[in-house]
Each structure stands twice: as structure tokens, then as C-alpha cells.
Amino acid sequence: MERIADPAGAASAIQSLKGYLDELIRARRRQPEDDIVKETTIIAMGASMLYLARNPGLKARLRENAELLELAVEEFLRIEPPAQAHARTLSADVEVHGRRSAPASGCSYSGPPPIGTRISSPTRIDSFPIATPTAT
């Protein structure tokens, strides 16, 4: 496990975020709204913040290159998915890896990368692009 570069700063940031989210959750329980305040969103945010606290170099790159944030979010969701598996009821015939399932039957799946995708470091963002685009 990697060490956090600034443990006191990380603890303070986590406490601030926790206080904010606790109040936000209480407010949503009193008056629900259709927004991103969902358990999986909060789990994903927390896991992403912890990853950045443990990887200050990546944090600095993202601060310097905001255009990489969308890709970073995708990578955070890949390495620390907020939901490990999903269950669905099929609405049509489906064949996966030679096995067929009929409509109305249940299935579950997890979130691996697409078939044929090679990830050199499945639990790290090692291959994260660090180059800054150059002006033409």
C-alpha cells in the first residue's frame, strides 16, 4: 500500500468532505432531489480522493491539465468501481461467450474492461497520459 504524502492534509480534507456530505445526505433525506447525491457517487468520490491522496504526482498532473479530468474519472471508476456487480432482468434473448439467456431471466455482471482490452496495471493508473497537448 502506498503512503499518503500529506497525512494531516488528507485527514483534514476528508473530514471537511465528510461533514459536507453528511449534511447534504441529511438534506436529501428531508427533501429528495434528482441529482448526483447517490451512495455510489459518494463512494466513487471518496475512493478517487483517497487515490489522489496516495498519488500526489497524479494529483499535480490533473491540476495542471484539467483536460485530463474526464479520463481520470473513467480510470478511477475502473480501478475502484463503487458497485462491484449489477443485477438485471433481460428483455430479449442474449448470448454471451456462447451461453444464451432468455427474456425475463435474471443475470448479473461486474464491470471488467471490454473483451480484448489489455490493461498493463489493472489496479493502478500507470498508463495515464501525462503529456500536455501542444498548440499547433
Q: Is the dihedral of CA 117, 60, 2, 72 positive or negative?
A: negative
How far apart are alpha carbons 128 and 125 in whole angstroms?
5
Q: What is the pLDDT of residue 70?
A: 87
- The pLDDT value recorded for residue 44 is 86
Q: Is the pLDDT of residue 124 over 50?
A: yes
* Per-domain residue ranges of the chain: 7-83
Better-predicted residue by pLDDT, 136 or 8: 8
Spatial neighbors of 94 by CB under 8 A, at least 6 apart, are 100, 101, 107
Average pLDDT over residues 22-31: 87
The residue-averaged pLDDT of 104-130 equals 59
**Mean pLDDT within 57-70:** 89
Q: Check whether 84 has a pLDDT greater than 80.
A: no
pLDDT band at 93 (very low <50, low <70, confident <90, very high): confident
Residue 54, classified by CB atoms within 10 Å of its CB into exposed (0-12), middle (13-18) or buried (19+), is: middle
What is the average pLDDT across 38-51? 84
What pLDDT was estimated at residue 130? 42
Query: Does 113 or 93 have the greater pLDDT score?
Result: 93
